[in-house]
Structure 1
Amino acid sequence: ELESLKQYPVEILSGLLYLGDEKQSADCSLLREMKISLIILLSQQSMKGNQAIVNFPVDDSVKSDLYSSFERICDLIASTIDSGSRVLIASPRGRSRCSAATIAFLMKHRKHTLQ
């Protein structure tokens, strides 16, 4: 019964920025319902869909270089949000890579500290 419940991405900035997994990023009805305009996918897998998808092929490994993509990721998020559209940051499990990109955005564009 629990498997049939729809899981929604985590809302980071109210009505603007969400963090989720690959399954949520591929669910067209969920994306349409949430009015997601841009998906930032942090995965080795590429994906096609109705929404704009920008894929950063970052492997889930300590040797992966996510840092060099932060500037572009943060600027994409900022420009999309500034236009009033919604962004979903997604990775296969929706954990470490998504969180790192989200934190980078909040620190760079919203002037949050790491604490």
Structure 2
Amino acid sequence: MAGTTFCEVSELYNILNQNTPLSRLPEFNYLCLIDACAKGQYNASHIITLRCHLQDSKGKFIMPAGVEVESMRNIVVYDSNSSSLQGEAMECAEALTKSNRYPVQILKGGYQRFSALNPFIRTQKILYTIKELESLRPYTVELLPDQLYLGDYNALVNVSEDTSHVLEKGNLHVNVADSVAADLYSSFERICVFIGSHRITMAFLLHHLKYTLGEAWEHVLQCKTNMRPNRGFVQQLYDWELHTLGRRMTDIAVPCY
């Protein structure tokens, strides 16, 4: 039995917005999101892809049909306002932990907090086809809540050689190819200054928060699971760690880099 744990709002937000490049939500064993609230609240509005919890005549939780708990990587349960490991969400989660090898997560703050921070992910829709899930356009993932986000070409820092989609205002264009030989290191400081001056985010992780490369890597990978910079950029980040911290703290020779 894997047990239960709390899930922060930003964690669930990032789980919902993973893509490769299509949304990961259609994957059979990726996410099971369960509402432990009363059925009336579920019908009024809920988080996208949610399943309503079911109970038998004795009030015992019944797993929704077609869900294989044993192979499910992410199981998240919420009620209206989960603030402790008690209540409806906990009762539902305990029933799921008996057969799942991964911890069942309870959304901290419940639906009230999540919907207040992310009202654009609410819906009344109950059933989705695979095609509908595949067509969902993920939002940028959240690296630092309300401060730093990671996205595609719509993000504030554009790192490519193509300038055709760069907006006239509010963007920094860094003309660099995605290749091992490309030089991104020389632009790191300019990127960090741009981010701080626009107050869109607090800082680039190594420059302003003084993360080591290893800490920054682990944090970003938790938020964006398919993140994988090429080897040339890894080496430049390694040099940037030396520049910002004054010494090398990370061994980039290990396989994870």
- Aligned equivalent of 2:161, options 15, 40, 44: 44
Tell me, yes or no, if structure 1 residue 15 matches structure 2 residue 146: yes
Gaps in structure 2 of 5+ consecutive residues = 1-131, 215-257
**Secondary structure in structure 2 of the residue aligned to 1:12:** strand
Tell me, yes or no, if structure 1 residue 58 matches structure 2 residue 176: yes
- Structure having greater relative contact order (Cα 8 Å, sep ≥ 6): 1
Task: Quote the offset at 1:108 in angstroms.
Answer: 1.2
Tell me, yes or no, if structure 1 residue 2 matches structure 2 residue 119: no
- Aligned equivalent of 1:111, options 189, 207, 210: 210
Change (3 A) 1:86 1:112: closer
User: 1:2-44, CA deviations, whole angstroms, 9 ceiling, x for partnerless residues?
Assistant: 232121111111111111112xx1xxxxxxxxxxxx7110011
CA contact (8 A) 1:39 1:51 kept: no
Number of aligned residues: 82
Correspondences of 1:24-103 after superposition (within 5 Å)? 25=154, 39-46=156-163, 47-49=165-167, 52-81=170-199, 85=200
Q: State the TM-score, normalized to the length of structure 1.
A: 0.62
Change (3 A) 1:51 1:71: same
Partner amino acid, structure 1, of 2:211: H
**Secondary structure in structure 2 of the residue aligned to 1:45:** coil
Task: Quote the offset at 1:48 in angstroms.
Answer: 3.6
Change (3 A) 1:67 1:50: closer
Identity %: 45
Partner amino acid, structure 2, of 1:80: H
Change (3 A) 1:114 1:86: closer
Residue 96 of structure 1 corresponds to: none
Mean CA deviation greater in 4-13 or 43-52? 43-52
Partner amino acid, structure 1, of 2:208: H
Aligned-partner Cα distance in 2 for 1:107–1:48: 26
CA contact (8 A) 2:140 2:152 kept: yes
CA contact (8 A) 2:158 2:173 kept: yes
Provide the alpha-carbon RMSD of the alignment: 2.3
Runs of 4+ deviating beyond 6 Å: none
Aligned-partner Cα distance in 2 for 1:7–1:72: 28
Gaps in structure 1 of 5+ consecutive residues = 26-37, 88-101
